[in-house]
Structure 1
Amino acid sequence: MDLTLQSKFTLYPLSIRKDQKNYIVEEPVSGDFFEMPKICIDAIDSINEGHTLGDIERELQEKYPDETVDMIEFGEQLIELGLVKEVDGEKMTQKRETQALDGFTWIPSSVGRFFFNGMTNKVYLILFLISVSLIVWNPGLFPHYQDIFLFDSMMLNIITYMLISLVMIIIHEFGHILAIRSYDLPAKLGIGNRLIFVVFETDLTAAWKLAPRQRNILYFAGMSFEQIFVLIALSIQLLYPEATTILIGILGIIVLDIFIKTLYQCCFYMKTDVYYFVENITGCYNLMESGKQYLSRWLPFLRSDSSDTEVFDGEQKIVRLYSVFYIVGILLTFSLIIFYFLPQTYYAYSQVFSNLFRSTTPSAFWDAIAFLGQTILLLILLLYAKIKTRKVK
């Protein structure tokens, strides 16, 4: 459809709310949210008043003399976003999907508010500080890379760690779900993947209905909920050192798992919970893309589609500061690899090869065979994932 300056639009009902710097526009039927500056909101208001694109363009040029105003281009963007119902009386034919807003609504909002309210949010911070204090005063509680080796069998160690890690992931995501239910909003728990690993992901899209300060609670909810289990695990280890080896070992794995995942949340080159918190408080909702664009001047391998990301006025300093944390996040990842993942890998495979060539029992030999078999399977899946990704690109 060819637009002209004489064209008039009829938009679908929109919900518009002031955010940090710009405005959040919600299309209620599809459940989509868009960030727009003030000039776009003024254009939408004029469209709803029945003005032609040409009249709106002249009006905005007078009001915003330093801005480039092109209502034809803006109109095409509105059509592409699915926000336009009619153009010059002709209905748009694009398919609009209704988003199901019923995820976890069976959980009463009162239950969510029990776990996440003005008081408990402070309690979670106190729990975190207590846990840190216990580790500082008792260095033996600090998670060690060997904590995952609870049994002589490497396969049993891997299975135990994976099960505990899975339970902790579900607890983490359930924290997000309870937090958003405290505002009587829905959430969706999906299954995604990073490389070859299956992960759970909570869709908090509905959080855009909330004020920025309220969204912060949702982003930290997973880590906040974990603090209960960290403190319990540390307290039992400290108060009952004579407990069974299995129990102490499982508690150690819980602390190690949450410790690593907490550091992982601080890896700003990925969109983690802490990243979304920083993005939210700064109001720079393309922070990663803008940061990569800035860093690509010195690190060409970061250059991608993000090279066309627009940096709004006043965001340059924030982007530069984020770029520093982006690099720190990469260094933090290398630290995890050096102090945890590489030592774990070396220890595991040294034990496996020892059992493979110098085993004293058949069970140790076959455990080594099974462990190497799953290693080969993981490498094949990793290679397949990389090949598939390249084909998609």
Structure 2
Amino acid sequence: MTDTADLPRITPETQVVLHDLAVRRDRDDWIVGRMATRTFVALPYAGARAVQLLRGGGTVADAAETLRAETGEEFGITEFVEDLAALGFVARIGARPLPDTAPPPASLPRLRPRHARLALHPVLPWLVAALLAAALVALVRDPELLPGYRDLLWSRHGSLVLLSGAAAGWALVLAHELAHLVTARAAGVPGRIRLGTRLQFLVMQTDISGIELAPRRHRMTAYLAGIALNLSVASCLLLVLAAADPGPTAHRLLAAGLLLALLPLPFQLMVFTRTDLYFVLQDLTGCRDLYGDGLAYARYAARRVTRRAGHDPSRELPAHERRAVRGYSVVLVVGTVLCLAFMACVTLPADVTLLVRAARGLGPGHGLAGNADAATVLLVLGSVNVLWAVTWWRGRKASRAARRR
């Protein structure tokens, strides 16, 4: 980003050189962005037209005159160029190049769009649907194939169950996020996988900023790629269970894998935590920032209860966004309250109980197996909670630094 205080003077004769920008029409606005820095903005027609004119090589005065002739209104082209520079969209003003920021690192940088192009093949969703349909048919024919929670407890050694479940679970999470990354990379979006937090949950997330400029089919494919992978893995495991007659241990391992593949899917319905389905919902409703606008409206509604309401932020939004934001704000508040209440009443007491029991299970009087079991519980459960705390703190620091900029 460029500090507008350091910009050279812009005169009517100034020529502005922009970086490589992508533009896509979205309802009444245009999405304009720079893929290298993953910075995007929604502009009205006049703003998108100004970008087009400036890219054409004319002067600031030429762009302003053309816009005046086309719209019949004056356009603040100088201020607009300053705004573009603040976003990092301007490469040079006159003869002076502007400083540029380094793009955020991408995960798997050697993976090129041509390597991943099959992820966007129109036949692929039909293959996933066919696989899911076959699994459903097998399940209808033999409902006993549906696993239960006892299948997760495939061994009498709790430490072995915990370690194998954690390993398989995180492997599936990584595969889920790689599905997002590969699909986005096929659409030309760099993408980056990192750890994050959603309320009390430690999650792995993929930043695919830039997918906003892709066609709708590509956007939806990228958003739903992780869910499709989980369903595909679960379908394959169920079909193996239906076709084979494995031994008791192998059967329970396959059933446990099937359950682990399905367990993350209900979490996707928690759109108040910005899951994959949240981005689908945001895209379908045409909202720019459903979560941010919903949170702002929820705060306004809370102030209104105390008769300190102030200005309703949703009134500045188009009608279709206003309705979606107000409805989402209810889901956001109710879902967050229920989620935190569940943590306080169930998850936190359970974690504390397990940690206390494990700590008491250490010592010379519990034998080698008992000590190993207790140490494993302390290591796995304690590491997850410490990792959540560190990730949450780093996220807060990054958010504060971004607000200061």
State whether TM-score is above 0.5.
yes
Does 2:93 match 1:93? Answer: no
Aligned equivalent of 1:303: none
Is contact 2:22–2:213 with CA below 8 Å preserved after alignment? no
Check 1:80–1:329 CA distance in 2 against 1; reply closer, same or farther (3 A cut).
same
C-alpha distance in structure 1 between counterparts of 2:96 and 2:25, whole Å: 30
Aligned partner of 2:68 in structure 1 is 59
| Residue matched to 1:212 | 216
Q: Aligned residues: percent identity?
A: 19
Amino acid at match of 1:223: I
Which of 5, 20, 36 aligns to 2:43? It is: 36
2:306 aligned residue: none
| 2:23 partner letter | I
Cα displacement (A) at 1:15: 3.6
Q: Give the counterpart letter for 1:148 in structure 2.
A: L
- Match of residue 318 from structure 1: 324
**Against the structure 1 CA distance between its residues 19 and 253, is the aligned structure 2 distance closer, same or farther, given a 3 Å change threshold?**
same
Which position in structure 1 is the counterpart of 2:276? Answer: 273
Residue of structure 1 equivalent to 2:153: 149
Out of 19, 22, 33, the position equivalent to 2:29 is: 22
Match of 1:80 among 56, 75, 86: 86
Q: Which amino acid aligns with 1:80?
A: A
What is the letter of the counterpart of residue 29 of structure 2? Answer: N
**Secondary structure of the structure 1 residue equivalent to 2:300:** coil
RMSD: 4.5
Query: SS where residue 263 of structure 2 aligns?
Result: helix
| Contact 2:270–2:335 under 8 Å retained in 1 | yes
Report if the CA contact (8 A) 2:50-2:67 is conserved. no
- Relative distance call for 1:163 and 1:60 in structure 2 (3 A) is farther
Kindly indicate whether residue 244 of structure 2 is the aligned counterpart of residue 252 of structure 1: no
Asked whether the equivalents of residues 11 and 83 of structure 1 are also in contact (C-alpha less than 8 Å), the reply is no
Q: Which residue of 2 aligns with 1:179?
A: 183
Give the TM-score of the pair, scaled to structure 2: 0.73
Is the CA contact (8 Å cut-off) linking 1:179 and 1:217 kept in structure 2?
yes
Q: 2:233 aligns with which of 229, 233, 257?
A: 229
User: For 1:220-369, what aligned pairs fall within 5 Å after superposition?
Assistant: 220-240=224-244, 243-245=247-249, 247-299=250-302, 311-327=317-333, 329-330=335-336, 333=339, 361-369=367-375
In structure 2, stretches of 5+ residues that fail to align are 1-6, 304-311, 401-405
Deviates more, 1:256-265 or 1:40-49: 40-49
Describe the superposition over 1:67-91 as per-residue Cα deviations: whole angstroms up to 9, x where unpaired: xx6444423211101222444x341
Normalising by structure 1, we get a TM-score of 0.75
Shift, 1:112, TM fit:
4.0
Distance 2:69 2:285 in 1: 27
Aligned partner of 1:372 in structure 2 is 378
What is the distance in 1 between the residues matched to 2:88 and 2:112?
31
The total of aligned residue pairs comes to 379
C-alpha contact (below 8 Å) 1:104/1:186 kept by paired residues: no
Cα 1:287–1:267 change in 2 (3 A) is same
Contact 1:19 1:211 in 2 (8 A): no
Unaligned runs of 5+ in 1: 301-306
How far is 1:160 from its partner?
A: 0.6
Kept in 1: contact 2:298–2:330 (CA 8 A): no
User: How far did residue 11 of structure 1 move?
Assistant: 2.9
SS of equivalent residue, structure 2 residue 41: strand
Quote the offset at 1:386 in angstroms: 5.7
Counterparts of 1:213 and 1:377 in 2: how far apart (Å)? 39
1:124 to 2:128 alignment? yes
Distance 1:141 1:338 in 2: 35
Deviation at 1:107, TM superposition (A): 7.6
Q: Please state if 1:50 is matched with 2:53.
A: no
